[in-house]
Chain A
Amino acid sequence: EPEVTQTPSHQVTQMGQEVILRCVPISNHLYFYWYRQILGQKVEFLVSFYNNEISEKSEIFDDQFSVERPDGSNFTLKIRSTKLEDSAMYFCATTFSTDTQYFGPGTRLTVL
């Protein structure tokens, strides 16, 4: 069964550094999302991406964040200058129709 994959599984970085989190969506999916989950808190929406552009973003998704599909397959989330409060699990999700989203295993980001 096709799966969403994410790399790396764990990323440790220093505050102020840039990180890029990568996702490989299920091949025929059209809508792509990033969510995050801070330890002990609920899953929060960051951004949705459709037709090669951002379709919706949350208040969390400020100028430090960006997304792109650089080669038509990978879907990336870049955090330009990480802060301590960016430490969280980041999940990529993809779907063919907006009813049902399939989540990747997540990247645990630790900012020191």
Chain B
Amino acid sequence: TQLLEQSPQFLSIQEGENLTVYCNSSSVFSSLQWYRQEPGEGPVLLVTVVTGGEVKKLKRLTFQFGDARKDSSLHITAAQPGDTGLYLCAGVMRGTSYGKLTFGQGTILTVHP
């Protein structure tokens, strides 16, 4: 059972295009994080969202937490080659006491110059 479904798995776009990555679940999360991971390195935190309907912006990246706290999205505007990488969503399920993270499968983004 995939608790966090992340889509698409692969995304290949041209520089300047916009894109959205989705993270969906049938479970409610008390918080959800987005990470970026480079090959051979650990996940680097981009953002944490905790409130249903919350929107956070990080330069060209916009993160949204669904109203019911079951889904989230990452939108990148005017993608650049430097955005290339693996993007991971991970959440703490409601009722979890000690913060165990459940990860999505990840989205491999390639931005071509």
Which A positions have Cβ atoms within 8 angstroms of B?
A: 4, 6, 31, 33, 35, 42-45, 48, 50, 55-56, 89, 91, 93, 95, 98-106, 108
Contact = CB atoms under 8 A, between A and B. Distances in A.
A104 B44 CA distance: 9
A100 B42 contact: no
A105 B104 contact: no
Contacts of B88: 42-43
Listed residue (B41, B99, B103) with the most chain A CB atoms within 10 angstroms of its CB: B99
Interface of B: 30-31, 33, 35, 40-45, 48, 50, 88, 90, 92, 96-106
Contacts of A89: 40
B97 A100 contact: no
B48 A99 contact: yes
Nearest to A49: B98
Given A100-B45, A103-B35, A35 B101 contact: yes
Nearest to A58: B100
A80 to B, nearest CB: 23
A103 B103 CA distance: 13
B47 to A, nearest CB: 9
Contacts of A48: 98-100
Closest 4 CB pairs of A and B: A98-B99, A103-B42, A55-B98, A43-B103
Nearest to A51: B98
A98 B104 contact: no
Contacts of A93: 101
Contacts of A56: 96-98, 100
Contacts of A31: 98-99
Given A44-B103, A101-B99, A102-B45, 4 more contacts: A42-B106, A98-B97, A100-B33, A105-B41
Contacts of B40: 89, 106, 108
B43 A98 contact: no
B33 A101 contact: yes
B90 A43 contact: yes
